[in-house]
Amino acid sequence: MPQRKPKVPLRHTRPRCGRGCGELHGHDRNDRHDRRMKPLPPKVLAFADAQAGLVARRQLRVAGFTRKHVDAQLTARRWSARSSVVVSTFTGALTREQQAWLGVLHAGPPAIVGGYTALEHHGLRNWRRERITILVDDEEHLAPLDGIDWFRTRRPLEVWRTTGRDLPLARVEPAALLCAAHEPNWRTAQGLLAAVVQQRLTTPAALRTQMERMKPLRRAPRFRLLLTEFEGGAQSVAEVDVKRMCTDFGLPVPARQRRRQDSSGRWRYTDCEWTLPTGEVLVLEVDGAFHMEVEHWEGDIQRQRGLTTPGRIVVRATAREIRDEPFQLAADLRNLGLAALCA
């Protein structure tokens, strides 16, 4: 009895197969399926290109790409289903931007990226949160989606959306104020508003204007006081705490953010300064939590060394000391010469 020849795998090189990949594939159902695969319409390609490779099924229907065609792409393992209503035109893990796209596409308009996630996209450093925050209309009731938090609000999301970006993103001011208003920890809320100002993402005036448009807003009276401190020159919550310490312990309020040239000729801005009766300058540098990391810690040591001169005394304190042990720091500053200014 003649033996049957073994099945010879073929290379997909014909254009109509849809792959054109040159890889070895056997004669199976997927091969026959690929030969009748519908080419992607230009509108689908445009959606995918603008949305980091993710497309909502409603967009595909508008583009004339039916559920049957979508299922064909998923069966061929070219695409991947990311939620019940969103597919990706690729397989593999999602990036941060793609996770944000997944959230807004799953929720649909007028959903936008908000909270810490929006601020991260605007360039905020050292405040990253792993979960993605999506602001949705208050009437929406969405099922949980892995890695994404839905924040329901009655606010005008269309008005809050930033311009000039494909990704629907809340502007810095409403994103920061809403996030700070609902942040459980008050000091974290203060720190967030200080960070967006310190990192030049916005200004105290812009935050104040936006706050008036968001009435009613939780913590608004406390935010107004905080913004007044920022308008007075404070660049962080720790600097606000320094002023409070000076008021409580009868010390003169320091000058803030003075421009000084270090020993290498580089211009620096000091946190707090007092000019003593002797003509010497006492500088207080405040170290936040991120200063404790090795690379920041070494940089701060070099900064202190470069700013110290025979007529300039530089001392450092942690933000925790100023918050929890202001009496000890106040006593040390008095001993370094501030007592003469209090007489």
Confidence of residue 3 (pLDDT cuts 50, 70, 90): low
Confidence of residue 147 (pLDDT cuts 50, 70, 90): very high
The residue behind tokens 């040159």 is 22
CA–CA separation, 331 vs 336, rounded Å? 9
Q: What element of type H or E holds 326?
A: helix 326-333
Is omega for the bond preceding 41 within 30 degrees of 0, making it cis?
Answer: no
Structural contact between residues 55 and 86, judged by C-beta atoms closer than 8 angstroms: yes
Q: Give residue 140's pLDDT.
A: 92
Q: Of residues 13 and 302, which shows the higher confidence score?
A: 302
Position 293 pLDDT exceeds 70: no
Angstrom distances, CA of residue 135 to CA of 96, 115, 189, 283: 16, 8, 18, 43
Share above pLDDT 90 across residues of the chain, in percent, rounded to a whole number: 63
| Centroid of chain to Cα 323 | 26
Position 206 pLDDT exceeds 90: yes
| Partner residues linked to 256 by β-bridges | 272
Confidence of residue 294 (pLDDT cuts 50, 70, 90): very low
Q: What pLDDT digit, counting tens, does each position of 148-203 carry?
A: 999 999 999 999 999 999 999 999 999 999 999 999 999 899 999 999 998 999 99
Position 128 pLDDT exceeds 50: yes
Position 262 pLDDT exceeds 60: yes
Please name the residue ranges forming H helices in 170-218: 172-181, 186-198, 204-213
Position 282 pLDDT exceeds 60: yes
Confidence of residue 250 (pLDDT cuts 50, 70, 90): very high
